[in-house]
Amino acid sequence: MIFIAEIGLNHNGNFNLCYEMIKLAKDSGADIAKFQLGWRGSPNEINYLDLKRIKTLKKWSNEFGIELMFSIFNKDSLEMVKKLNLDKYKIASRTVVDNLNLVKEIVNLDKTTFISLGMWDKKDLPIPSKKNVKYFWCKSKYPTELKDLKGLPKNFKDSHCVGYSDHSIGIDAPLIAISRGASVIEKHFTLDKSSTVVRDHILSATPEEFKTMVDIGRKIHRKIEFGL
């Protein structure tokens, strides 16, 4: 069972806050702390991350014993992050429909690549028959409402998706996904749900909520693994 704390832009442009968020993600039981690279990332924008900064994120992640991962949004970001030699990559739903060539380039690195399908409406998968590709069921609606979750797989083990990337409010939907066999959960992570600097805060989990989700989720997953 893997839990990904999607920090994304929830640092609100305060890069130093990332240190505390990575630490609290680890304390909350997350296996991976994830950021977005190339999205709103120009020098004058909220998510500016150059090579020096992503190396610092890697240093902090190593310090706290949590894996670092990025959603990659463009070619320049890919070339930069390759210098860190990370084990895993994430591809956001938007990138799958906007830049499939970039997706293929990332997949061809033969690293574990998580791909969200929140905007994919075609019958065939974007990248079929690649062992390093792991798909996430997702709805690209912020926040995702209960009615939007009707398509959530009844049994992930019989689905092409191994996990669920969540944009709903609260932790119920991720726990339902785990009860249906999801083995990877990605949930946005925040220190202040009331912040309106970016839209993701309201649908994110606080450290306390994230820890509750992880504790309950791991218990459910273990029971499923034992056939209960």
DSSP string, 111-132: SEEEEE-TT--SSS-SS-S-TT
Q: What is the CATH number of the domain that holds 122?
A: 3.20.20.70
What is the rounded CA–CA span in Å between residue 119 and residue 141? 10
Structure confidence at residue 123 as a pLDDT band (50, 70, 90): confident
CA atoms within 13 A on the CB side of 55: 5
Residue range 206-225: mean pLDDT, rounded: 96
- What pLDDT is attached to residue 154? 96
Q: Into how many domains does the chain fold?
A: 1
Phi/psi at 202 (5° precision): -65, -30
pTM confidence score: 0.96
Give the count of beta carbons closer than 10 Å to the beta carbon of residue 14: 11
Domain that holds residue 44: 2-225
- pLDDT tens-digit profile of 48-96? 999 999 999 999 999 999 999 999 999 999 999 999 999 999 999 999 9
